[in-house]
Amino acid sequence: MAPAEKPALLIRLCAPRGFCAGVVRAIDAVEEALRKFGAPVYVRHEIVHNRYVVEGLKRKGAIFVDELSEIPDTEAPVIFSAHGVPKAVPAEAESRKFFAIDATCPLVTKVHREAEIHFKRGRRVILVGHAGHPEVVGTMGQLPDGAVVLVETVDDVARLVLLDDQPLAFVTQTTLSVDDTAAVVAALKARFPGIAAPHKEDICYATTNRQEAVKRVAPEVDAMIVVGSPNSSNSQRLREVAERAGCPLARLVLRAEDIDWSLFGQLRTLGITAGASAPEVLVEEIIDAFAERYAIEVETVSTADESVFFPLPKVLRPDAA
């Protein structure tokens, strides 16, 4: 008896997807430090929010910690993650004479500098972001306690209690939903017409581009898989964007073994994208898993070209002494 033919499945692959320049720089920083100085290399916080990436670096000799207090006295490199850190962290590293390497994404550093400039000019800084996210903790930690007010939603803006005569400015987390943030920013500008805005959008190019690609694909497919980790803000936003764009089923999946086939069993079309901290190898793994069950055709849907590159921290560059 001939085996049953596999059902046909059209996979619409979003582009751009996956690693952004800041993530590439951060991962390369850990790998180059391991190559240049040997193991161990300590990393404060997950270098990027992806378990597959973190486990791979652990196998090469990286040791991940939540706080510097977990690190013994050492001459080994201590790397700060792409999300950025409060000023207290490099200060602690200096007091303990650690060999610290800052792998903060330059686009996050831009937000830090903006917040500092507004503060120096006497403005109260409002940060649009998600409470507890490492990037938000790092940005708020650039200024003294109480100098930054966090808002997450339009309702938070309505509830703000601020001094009438204090000038205001806002900055945003780099990995937010573009549409959600636009609504919060509009509410801020409506309530505080004189509020100072960033000179250039704080939401990073990669977040924007990945969301635009999902908006294009999501209404045209039966289901959408976002490859990424549950603690990745930009990956969670991609799932939300897919749902809002009209996709009947959108799920965040770390890797192929996490696919719930009871949900993805009867499809004709599938969209796939990946968060900015998810490696392409996991996208390929998921495509291969569908290829075992379906006769697949893969079509790439591209909405932008990306050529952004960030050099390694100076101490890790080939010409460093």
Q: In the listed set 105, 123, 147, which residue is the last one of a domain according to the structure?
A: 105
- Residue 131: exposed, middle, or buried by beta-carbon count in 10 A (0-12, 13-18, 19+)? exposed
pLDDT in tens, 23-50: 999 999 999 999 999 999 999 999 888 9
Answer yes or no: 32 catalytic. Answer: no
Q: Which long-range contacts (CB under 8 A, 24 or more apart) does 53-60 make?
A: 53/27, 53/277, 53/279, 57/27, 57/30, 57/31, 60/31, 60/34
List, in sequence order, every beta strand (DSSP E) within 28-102: 41-44, 62-65, 77-80, 99-102
In a domain, 50, yes or no: yes
In a domain, 1, yes or no: no
pTM for this prediction: 0.92
Q: How many domains does the chain have?
A: 3
Sequential pLDDT tens for the chain (321 residues): 445 789 999 999 999 999 999 999 999 999 999 999 999 999 999 988 899 999 999 999 999 999 999 999 999 999 999 999 999 999 999 999 999 999 999 999 999 999 999 999 999 999 999 999 999 999 999 999 999 999 999 999 999 988 768 899 999 999 998 999 999 999 999 999 999 999 888 889 999 999 999 999 999 999 999 999 998 999 999 999 999 999 999 999 999 999 999 998 789 999 999 999 999 999 999 999 999 999 999 999 999 999 999 999 999 998 765
Which residues sit opposite 149 in a β-bridge?
Answer: 126
> How confident is the model at residue 200, as a pLDDT?
84
Per-residue CA distances from 200 to 148, 172, 182, 193, 196 (Å): 20, 11, 14, 18, 12
Among the options 5, 67, 135, 152, which is catalytic?
135
pLDDT in tens, 141-156: 999 999 999 999 999 9
Domain that holds residue 164: 107-191
Domain with residue 14: its CATH number is 3.40.1010.20
